Each structure stands twice: as C-alpha cells, then as structure tokens.
A = this chain, B = another copy of it.
Amino acid sequence: MGEDKKISMAVIRRLPRYFRYLYDLMQLDIKRISSKELSERMHITASQIRQDLNCFGGFGQQGYGYNVEYLYNEIGKILGTDKRFNCIILGAGNMGKALASYENFRKRGFDIVAVFDVDEKKIGTKINDIEVYSTDKIPEFVAKTKVDIAILTVPNKKIIDVAKEITSLGIKAIWNFSPTDLRLGEDVVVENVHLSDSLMVLGYRLREKDY
C-alpha cells in the first residue's frame, strides 16, 4: 500500500481532538457542520481543518460541509478505533492502578489484559478485574498472549531496564509515564507522558500572566 503523503505529527496529534468534537456534535444531534462552524467551536482556523482533513482524502462536499457522523467514523478509522489493542501495565502503583481502572481506554479500543508488579503483596490481587502478576511472568505471558502496548508506570530508576526487557520480548509500542525520555530504536514507538513537565509549564504560565 503506502499512501505516501508523509503526514506530519502536528496533524496526527490534532486527530483525537477532531474526534472528540465530532462526538460531542453527534451527542447534540447535529448532522452536518461546515469547516467554518467547526473552526469557531475548536478555536482553530477553517483553513487548517480543511487542510488537515484533506491529508486523508475528501470527506466533505462543496456547498454542504461535512456529515458529522460520517466524518467521525472516518477519523475513527484513521485513528484505528475500530481495531483492538492488547495492553499490559508494568507497575501496580497508584498510577498503574488509576490507568487500569480507567474505563475510557477500553471504549477507544485499548484493553488492559494484565498488570505486573514486583511487590509480593500485590501479586495475585485484582485491579478492576485485571489480574496482577509477578514481573517474572512477563515473558511467559507475552509468549502466549499478543501484547501490542506496554504501559510503563514503574519507578524512574527501573525504567530503562524495564523498557529494554519489554522490547526484547518484541513489544513495539510503549506508553511511558516515567520522567525519563525513552528512545528504543527505529521500530519501537514511544509516547512519553511526562506529567511533571506539564505541571511545570503550567506553573511557568501562571507566573508569566502577571509579570
């Protein structure tokens, strides 16, 4: 295949946002929308919306605009919300527990199939019906269950070793909640969350406001 237009990350990162706004429009029973109306709701230019959408093909109709439900479904397909991904969480601390309990991920196609931790007291317990296993069992688990994504909520000092183990088992996607940037070669995709960074930027912007 290879629809080689080379779509920029800036565009990709806006897709979930379009997806959310279109969902909200559906909830409001709005059937069609023009790029102009949508631009006012989203606070971006109509031009950018049309430009973004045309990276993937023409979803609209001249003189009419876009059919909300159709566009929602098309963006969903691009984002792969019609596919399912098996995810494991490494680290059953507070953040691991919070993510395992978050129902929204499942709705978006991401199933948390297991949680792993080193703490004997946690092993064998369940979080939101998901079993907590010993980290020793990761290779065994990955061998018998297809795992698409590893969600890493381990302490920062362990992150490098854990990331290496995970990738050596063939897992190709990592959602990283540790402050350390992960970079694991060409064929492993990583999304770094970096909550502290986000909070520090908020602090900066708050102080800037009244300089």
Contacts and interface: CB of A to CB of B under 8 A. Distances in A.
Given A94-B97, A98-B98, A189-B209, A16 B105 contact: no
A81 B101 CA distance: 32
A28 interface: no
A204 interface: yes
A149 interface: yes
A83 B206 CA distance: 12
Contact of A204 (B3, B12, B194, B196): B12
Interface stretch (A57-65, A116-124, A129-137, A173-181): A173-181
Nearest to A97: B94
Contacts of A2: 211
A168 B47 CA distance: 35
A207 interface: yes
A175 B175 CA distance: 20
B199 A105 contact: yes
A17 to B, nearest CB: 7
Query: Which interface residue of A13, A83, A93 has the most chain B CB atoms within 10 A?
Result: A13
A26 interface: no
A174 B17 CA distance: 19
B195 A193 contact: yes
Given A94-B98, A94-B102, A83 B203 contact: yes
Given A12-B201, A83-B207, A104-B196, 9 more contacts: A12-B204, A15-B204, A17-B197, A20-B179, A97-B98, A105-B199, A148-B206, A149-B202, A175-B198
Interface of A: 1-3, 12-13, 15-17, 19-20, 43, 78-81, 83, 85, 93-95, 97-99, 101-102, 104-105, 108-110, 148-149, 172-173, 175, 179-181, 183, 187, 189, 191, 193-207, 209, 211
